[in-house]
Structure 1
C-alpha cells in the first residue's frame, strides 16, 4: 500500500511538473516581440528621421537581463514591407526571433535607423575623400550631379555617425536594458549602408565591436569604369581600420545586377583584412552568394548568416 501510495504520489508530481512545464512554454510562446516607433528622432547633427526599436520576446521574458544592440541602416526596409522602399522587407524581426527561440543566436535589441533623401552623402565615408586626387574629386562631383544632389552637396557621414554615437546610442542605453560596451554594440547595413558600417568601425573602434557590410558598395559608382575613388577608399581603410584583436567583421556579395561589380573590390579589401591580422572564419568572414542580386530579397535570404556571425551564442 505504501508502495502504491508512493507511486500515485510520484505520478501526480510528475504530471504536475509536466503540466507546469507545458504552461510555462505556452506562456513564453504567448509573449510577443515589440517594436517601439520613435518618430522624427531629433538631432543637432543631421535631419530628424524615424527610428524603430525592435525588442525580442526574450526582452520581456527576462526582465532582469540586458541585451546587445544591433544598429542597422535603411531601417524602413528591415521590418515592414509597407514602409520598405521597394515593397519587400528584410524581415529581420521575424527571422531574428526564430533564431533566438531556437537558441541559434544571442537575444538582442535591433535598432532600425531610417534613411533620408540625403542617404548617399550620409553613408559616404567622409574621411576617405581626403585621399582623393583632383581627378577623383571631380568624378565624385559628377556623380553627385548625376544623382541630382548638386555639386555643392556636403559629405555628411561624420555628422551621421555623431548622431548615432552621441545622440541615438545614449538614448537607447538610457531607455532600454542594453549592454552598452563595445563587444555588445554592433552595426550593419547593405550597399552604401555597408560602407557606413565599416566606416563606423574605423572611426569609432572603441564604440562598435562588430560590423557587417552586406553587398558593400565598394565601386562608389554604378560599374567599374572609374576605379580611382574606390582605390583611395581602400587607402583610407589601410590607415584607419583597426588591427585585429577586439573586433569582428562580416562581408558578403552576390554576383548579379549591381553586385556583379563587387568581387574585384572585395578581394582587395580581404587582403587588407589579412594585413590587419584578421583571421577568416574566426573574427572575419567574406561570403560569396552566386546568382544573388542587389536587392532586399537577396539580403533577406542572408539575414540568418549575418545574424549568426554578429550574435553568436557565447
Structure 2
C-alpha cells in the first residue's frame, strides 16, 4: 500500500482545452493518476522512527467493511508513566497514515513530522495530552475511500457514472471507511490505549482528499468526532477547476455540516501547485459554514501564500489546526 498518491503532489493547475469537457476530464485525470501510484513493498513494511515518542503498529488491522491495512499509533514520550499516573489522552485520527512521522519511509521523502509538533505543544502546555492514530490509505482505492459518498447522488448522472467507474474504481467506499473508523477501529483504540473517548476529545485530520473525508466524517458521525481539520481540502475532486463536484459538496454541507454548537472545523489552502485552484471553492465553503452558524470561536479558514500541495507545507503549519482544535485558552 503506497502513501499519499503522487497525483496529489506538485501538480500545477491548467485550463482544460475544452470547457465543456472540464468536469469529465477532472474525473479521467483522477483515474489515470491513481494508476501511477508507486508501490514500494519494502517501504510499506518499514516501521516509522519518529523523532519523539514511539510508534505502535496495528499491522494489517482487519475489517469486515474495507480491506485490512496498517494503523500506526503514535504515543508521546512518557506515555507509559502518564498512564500509570491516571492520565488519559485525546485522539487525532489522521488519514494517509504512512505519510505522518518519518520521511525516510515515505514515497516522496516528505512527512508531516506530527510527533515533533505535538510533542512541543504538549511540552509547552498549549494542548492537552494527545495521541495520533495514523490510518494507512489503501493505495489505488484511496480516492474511493476518501470521496464523500453522499456527494454522488447530487451529481449529474453522466458525471457520477464516470467518476464512479474511473475515479472510484467502480466502488464508492467512503461510508464503509467511516464505519470502519467508528465501529471497528475506535473501539479497539479505546480498549488498548488510555484515551479520552468523548466526542470533544476525538477529531479527524487530513490533507487534500484526506481533508475532504475529514469534514465529511465529522458531519456523518457528529456524535463521535467533535472536530475536523482539512489542510488543502480538495473540494474540486479532480485536477481541474469544475462546477459539478464542488456544487455537490456545497449542497451536502448546506444540509448536513455538523452542528456548530458542538463542533470545531478548520480549513486552509496554499496558493501554488494544486492549491492554486482552491480559493474560490474554499471561500464558498466559508460562507456555507457561516450560514450554518459557525463563528470565529469554532471555525477557522486560512490561506498560506506561496505554499503548495505537499507534506512539507502541511508540516510547517500543523501547529495552527492543532491549537485551534485542542488549544487551551
Partner of 2:71: 51
Structure showing greater radius of gyration is 1
Q: C-alpha deviations, 1:200-233, integer Å up to 9, x for none? A: 0110001000000110000111020x31121111
Alignment of 1:82-97 (within 5 A): 82-97=104-119
| Preserved contact between residue 201 and residue 210 of structure 1 (Cα < 8 Å) | yes
Tell me how far apart the structure 2 counterparts of residues 232 and 114 of structure 1 sit (CA, whole Å). Answer: 27
Partner of 2:58: 38
2:199 is aligned with 1:194: no
Partner of 2:122: 100
- Bigger relative contact order, structure 1 or 2 (CA pairs below 8 A, ≥6 apart): 2
Alignment of 1:267-282 (within 5 A): 267-280=283-296, 282=297
| Preserved contact between residue 122 and residue 156 of structure 1 (Cα < 8 Å) | yes
Which ranges of structure 1 fall in alignment gaps of 5 or more residues? 1-31
Offset, 1:94? 1.4
Tell me how far apart the structure 1 counterparts of residues 60 and 264 of structure 2 sit (CA, whole Å). Answer: 31
| Preserved contact between residue 126 and residue 156 of structure 1 (Cα < 8 Å) | yes
Offset, 1:139? 4.9
Tell me how far apart the structure 1 counterparts of residues 161 and 178 of structure 2 sit (CA, whole Å). Answer: 25
Deviates most, 283-292 or 102-111:
102-111
Equivalent position SS for 1:128: helix
2:90 to 68, 84, 87: 68
C-alpha root-mean-square deviation of aligned residues, in Å?
Answer: 1.4
Tell me how far apart the structure 2 counterparts of residues 185 and 243 of structure 1 sit (CA, whole Å). Answer: 15
Q: Which runs of 4 or more aligned residues in structure 1 lie more than 6 Å from their structure 2 counterparts after TM superposition?
A: none
Partner of 2:145: 122
How many residues are treated as equivalent by the alignment?
A: 275
2:281 to 253, 262, 265: 265
Equivalent position SS for 1:221: coil
Question: What's the TM-score once normalised by structure 2's chain length?
Answer: 0.81
Tell me how far apart the structure 1 counterparts of residues 313 and 173 of structure 2 sit (CA, whole Å). Answer: 28
| Preserved contact between residue 254 and residue 293 of structure 1 (Cα < 8 Å) | yes
Partner of 2:328: 313
Offset, 1:246? 0.2
Equivalent position SS for 1:95: helix
Deviates most, 98-107 or 252-261:
98-107
Tell me how far apart the structure 1 counterparts of residues 105 and 247 of structure 2 sit (CA, whole Å). Answer: 35
Partner of 1:132: 155
